[in-house]
Amino acid sequence: MTASAAQRWVRFVALGVGMIFVAFPFYWMILTAFTPRDALFRPPFALIRFDFSLGNFAELLFATEFLVYLKNSLIAAAGAIVLNVVAATLAGYGLSRFSFFGRRTFAEATLFSYMFPPMLLAIPLYLIFSSLGMRNSYGGLILAHVTNSLPLNIWIMWQYFQIVPVSIEEAAWVSGASKLRAMWQVCLPSALPGIISVAIFAFALSWNDFAFAFILQTDTAMFTLPVGLATFVERTAIHWGMIMSSSALISIPTFALVFFLQRYLMSGLGLGGR
């Protein structure tokens, strides 16, 4: 065996070991979710078992407020996606197509603001939304999620519009199109991968947010999935079956988006790092 072949095998083994460490928590989550409740704490704790049951999922859907939490998360994520796509697209287009004083400083400042942790913004937003009567509302939660995701998305769209040639818009102007029509019919279709990438980031940050939802939404009817999931941990018991089954259901949209739209996601990550 040559030295290059040995190095290749070493890399394969190291990658395989790393994959085991990464994939095992997901495997254990799925296994626990389908394990009957009376067998969860009954030894032996086998790594492979066949006594599967949908009891945890049935209890989750029909004996808890999971569907309410799901509805709240979907509304918050949808609102965050719409506002992020509109605001980031318009801001990115303006930064790339119009020259004005402090343009680059403004763009870099938006990315700098993304460095602050959500908890640093949660308390000021709590005070502001309390004075405006926007706590325990979809509007307040959506705006909070947008404050967390919009800076990075503006940076992504600014970078993306810079690689869309201005010449295609100029050709539309010569043909009689207005600037708005040229942007809508010519520039935006060319920037579609960046727009999809922005939507993915906005969804992921909103879907997985705990800090804003926990602080701003004190009414149990307004809990989102991450906050609702925490209610399964009680003072005297931890409902592992419902926790794992709900975690499995919560993971499906994120995995589906990343799997089917990963090329747009990688494009956005690459542009955001420039």
CATH number at residue 255: 1.10.3720.10
**In the chain, which residues have pLDDT < 70?**
1-3, 5, 235-236, 262-274
Is residue 153 a contact partner of residue 198, using CB atoms and an 8 Å limit? Answer: yes
Q: Answer whether residue 7 is part of any domain.
A: no
**What pLDDT score does 77 carry?**
94
Is residue 175 a contact partner of residue 184, using CB atoms and an 8 Å limit? Answer: no
Q: Report the candidate in 243, 238, 212, 244 with the shortest Cα–Cα distance to residue 228.
A: 243
Q: Answer whether residue 148 is part of any domain.
A: yes
Q: Answer whether residue 22 is part of any domain.
A: no
Q: How far apart are CA 71 and CA 78, in angstroms?
A: 11
- Digit-coded pLDDT (tens) for 228-272: 888 887 766 778 888 888 888 888 888 887 777 766 666 555 554
Q: What are phi and psi of 16, to 5 degrees?
A: -65, -45
Q: Answer whether residue 29 is part of any domain.
A: no
Peptide bond into 44 cis (omega under 30): yes
Q: Look-up: residue for tokens 């909103």?
A: 206
Q: Residue 233: beta bridge partners?
A: 238
234 residue type, one letter: E
* Total tally of structural domains belonging to the chain: 1
Q: Answer whether residue 24 is part of any domain.
A: no
Q: Answer whether residue 19 is part of any domain.
A: no
Cα distances (angstroms) measured from residue 106 to each of 62, 111, 149, 151, 229: 49, 9, 16, 11, 38
Q: Answer whether residue 30 is part of any domain.
A: no
Is residue 141 a contact partner of residue 73, using CB atoms and an 8 Å limit? Answer: no
**What pLDDT score does 78 carry?**
94
Q: Report the candidate in 82, 109, 83, 116 with the shortest Cα–Cα distance to residue 95.
A: 109
- Domain span at 187: 54-272
Residues with Cβ within 8 Å of 94's Cβ and at least 6 positions away in sequence, in order, are none
Q: Report the candidate in 152, 163, 162 with the shortest Cα–Cα distance to residue 197.
A: 152
Q: Give the tokens for residue 245.
A: 């089954």
Strand, helix or coil for residue 10: helix
Q: Give the tokens for residue 120.
A: 């640093």
Q: Answer whether residue 267 is part of any domain.
A: yes
Q: Report the candidate in 65, 199, 69, 92 with the shortest Cα–Cα distance to residue 145.
A: 199
Residues with Cβ within 8 Å of 41's Cβ and at least 6 positions away in sequence, in order, are none
Q: Give the tokens for residue 77.
A: 């994520």
